[in-house]
Amino acid sequence: MSGLAIEVSVTPEYCAAESSDVETRYVFSYTVTVHNQSPHSVQLMARYWKITQGGGDSQEVRGKGVVGQQPLIGPGQRFRYTSRAILQTPVGVMEGAYTLLNTYSQRAFEVSIAPFRLAVPRQLH
């Protein structure tokens, strides 16, 4: 990881108003915080996500930056954004990685994003 300390945390949330059991459509938002704890600026260049449905089916998503941006994150700074995932099951898991560029050395490196659970909260009937 080129000695750079980048911390990524994710907070998922179920979007009940946009979801439907009948249509087997379960919408989740997730807020990601990227904290640059290194002495150099980094730029978030690309993302990779693996989304696994409750039944085991998975899909991979790759792209430039996040939410249409390739943000520059200075030393000690945080970048936060919110995005969404739509599942066909009420439970799933997402994990992935970001490719970042150390703007000092001009070297790219990857930071893993630990798996996190997307789950419809239990409802009492």
As a whole number, mean pLDDT of residues 89-110 equals 97
CATH number, span 6-119: 2.60.40.1470
pLDDT tens digits along 1-13 = 344 699 999 999 9
pLDDT tens digits along 44-75 = 999 999 999 999 999 999 999 999 999 999 99
> What region, left, alpha or beta, does residue 3 occupy, with left being phi > 0 and alpha being psi -120 to 50 degrees?
left
Enter the pTM of the model.
Answer: 0.91
Structure tokens at 109: 């490196």
Cα–Cα dist 108/116, whole Å: 25
**Per-domain residue ranges for the chain?**
6-119
**Proportion of the chain above pLDDT 90, given as a percent:** 94
Coil, strand or helix at 16:
helix
Confidence of residue 122 (pLDDT cuts 50, 70, 90): confident
Q: What is the number of residues in the chain?
A: 125
Cα–Cα dist 6/98, whole Å: 10
